[in-house]
Amino acid sequence: MKSITLSLAENIVDFPLNLIPEEVILESKRSFLNWLGVAIGASQHPSVDIVLELANEIGGFPQATILGRNVKTDMQFASLINGMSSHIFDFDDTILNTVLHPSAPVWPAILAVAEHNNLTTKEVLEAFVIGCEVEQRIALAICPNHYERGWHVTGTVGAFGAAAAVGKLLKLDHLQMTNALGIAAAQPTGLREMFGTMTKPFHPGKAAANGLLSSLLAKKGFTSSLAPLEAKRGFGQVLSENPSFDVIIEPWGSKWQLLDNSYKPFACGIVTHPGIEAGINLKNIHNINPADIDEIVVEVHPLVLELTGKETPQNQLEAKFSIYHCVAAGIIFGKASEAQFANNIVLREDVVNLRKKIKAVINNSLMEDQTLLHAKLKNGNAIKITIEHAVGSKEKPMTNTELEEKFIELTSDILKGREKKLISKIWEMEKSLPIQEITNFATPLNTSSYK
């Protein structure tokens, strides 16, 4: 029987790019717009300062742009840093059935290679379709057990997405591509224990850098196992129980994984979104003031409490892992952008008081994009709010206009006017523009930023 990994490598290498449907290329553009916005938005974070300072000490060639900064680093550090930036706000895209964030580990590697090798915007859109296809198929093969066991799937399988996308751009042959996937398999990055620390966004950054490295080495003849995914002591068996590899070898073209991608309207984990939307509805539709509330009970999918059960968050990061803070933000502010997770908001008295009134209970019959909110008011009235599909879910996706608004809100303080030009370029990416027409505009206009 043919190696499963080799079969995957053949599809990566051989699938005719002109057969990728227009709607999939459009979704690649939407993913890029969303990814670029969150990456630029978080680019001034202290964790980015740290890695950038180290990159300067290591001193590689200035090969690729650091988004939101007037500086270039070598391709490896650019992949690491831009991958980190895009996951810092927990505001990047998600494929819900595996909880994979497909963009953060893949786009940074694509962008670095494209800029260094003067590739076109059309090539990078196609490369992302390929990378997403590969990482999500592998995620499907090993999830949910892999994630339940404690792996941060975005980091672990993200490296395969980066290796596949970069390998496609570098025109690896079948054997080289198989080796690239093998080298990537040996370097899984990401434990869920790191959630709430700088190491969480480090995961997709390192996955991008590792995937890039894997394909750069494979291109030069570096060897690895030829069955790294499926072998007895390969990635699938070692990092999960009873993986099912069928999904990896299914023919390409009839269904594209990228079409399952979704984008977040709120700056926190996607499982909290139904609760936030219910909170927003309580304020905007029912006009309820926090002072009038006696108690809130939200019924949630089990994953909500597993991932975001922090009852008394003390800072921005913790608040993002608190369903209580998320719902409170919806009720008080009518939104949950980055500003509603700022440290001073998290500790503000009215916010703390409202959080204490919120209870979350598991309802096993709910889907991940559903919630039921029961408000008991001081006047004795009760309100019930049902969210069937949260905004940003696959059934109720963000529109192109909403994505543009999100991009502008995240980037305008940094790009200071360049953001609209950038948006118009992104919608034209299928036209084979030089990638520099994107990267040159994804930084501040002046050099007042770092370095």
Stretch that binds a copy of itself, among 93-101, 183-191, 247-255, 318-326 (CB under 8 A): 183-191
Q: Which of 410, 56, 129, 383 is nearest to 264 (CA)?
A: 410
Kindly tell me which residue out of 14, 21, 145, 223 binds a copy of itself, with binding defined by CB under 8 A. 223
What are the angstrom distances between the C-alpha of 307 and each of 130, 270, 271? 29, 10, 8
Q: Which is nearer to a copy of itself, 146 or 273 (CB)?
A: 146
Tell me: does residue 335 bind a copy of itself (CB under 8 A): no
Among 176, 199, 316, 393, binds a copy of itself (CB under 8 A): 199
Q: How many residues bind a copy of itself (CB under 8 A)?
A: 56
**Closer CB to a copy of itself, residue 120 or residue 237?**
237
> Segment 66-105, which members bind a copy of itself (CB under 8 A)?
74-76
DSSP secondary structure, 29-46, as one string = HHHHHHHHHHHHHTTTSH
Residues contacting 178, CB < 8 A, separation 6+: 3, 5, 6, 9, 224, 226, 228
Q: Which of 17, 96, 175, 194 binds a copy of itself (CB under 8 A)?
A: 194
Member of 3, 187, 322, 371 binding a copy of itself (CB under 8 A): 187
Contact 272, 315 (CB under 8 A): no
Q: Whose Cβ is closer to a copy of itself: residue 184's or residue 415's?
A: 184
Instruction: Kindly tell me which residue out of 25, 39, 114, 185 binds a copy of itself, with binding defined by CB under 8 A.
Output: 185
Binding part of the chain for a copy of itself, among 22-30, 184-192, 249-257, 344-352 by CB under 8 A, reads 184-192
Binder of a copy of itself out of 4, 42, 143, 183 (CB under 8 A) = 183
Name 64's bridge partners. 73
75: number of Cβ within 10 Å: 26
Nearest 10 degrees: Cα torsion 120, 40, 451, 74: -40
3-state secondary structure of 148: helix
Within 10 angstroms of residue 381's Cβ, the number of other Cβ atoms is 12
Asked whether 112 and 166 are in contact (CB, 8 A), the reply is no
For residue 224, what are its two tokens? 């690895």
Please choose, out of 32-40, 217-225, 339-347, 380-388, the segment that lies near a copy of itself by the rule CB under 8 A.
217-225
Asked if 60 touches a copy of itself (CB under 8 A), the answer is: yes
- In whole angstroms, the minimum distance from the beta carbon of 399 to a copy of itself comes to 36
358-362 and 293-300 strand pairing: parallel
Question: 246 burial class (0-12, 13-18, 19+ CB within 10 angstroms)?
Answer: exposed
Of 41, 228, 269, 313, which lies in the binding site for a copy of itself, with binding defined by CB under 8 A?
A: 228
| Rounded distance between C-alpha atoms, residue 428 and residue 122, angstroms | 9
As a whole number of angstroms, the distance between CA 281 and CA 381 comes to 16
Give the shortest CB-239-to-a copy of itself separation in angstroms. 9
Q: Which of 105, 188, 243, 265 binds a copy of itself (CB under 8 A)?
A: 188
Mark the segment that binds a copy of itself (CB under 8 A) among 53-61, 321-329, 365-373, 429-437. 53-61
Interface pick for a copy of itself out of 122, 174, 192, 420 (rule CB under 8 A): 192
Residues facing 95 on adjacent strands:
100, 261
Per-residue binder mask for a copy of itself (CB under 8 A), 134-163, x = binder: ---------------xxxx--x--------
Angle 278-264-168 (CA atoms, 0-180°, nearest 5)?
160
Pick between residue 182 and residue 274 the one whose CB is nearest to a copy of itself: 182
Instruction: State which H helix or E strand residue 383 sits in.
Output: strand 382-387
Binding residues for a copy of itself, per CB under 8 A? 46-47, 50-51, 53-54, 57-61, 63, 74-76, 149-152, 155, 182-183, 185-194, 197-199, 202-203, 206, 213, 216-217, 220-225, 227-228, 231-235, 237-238
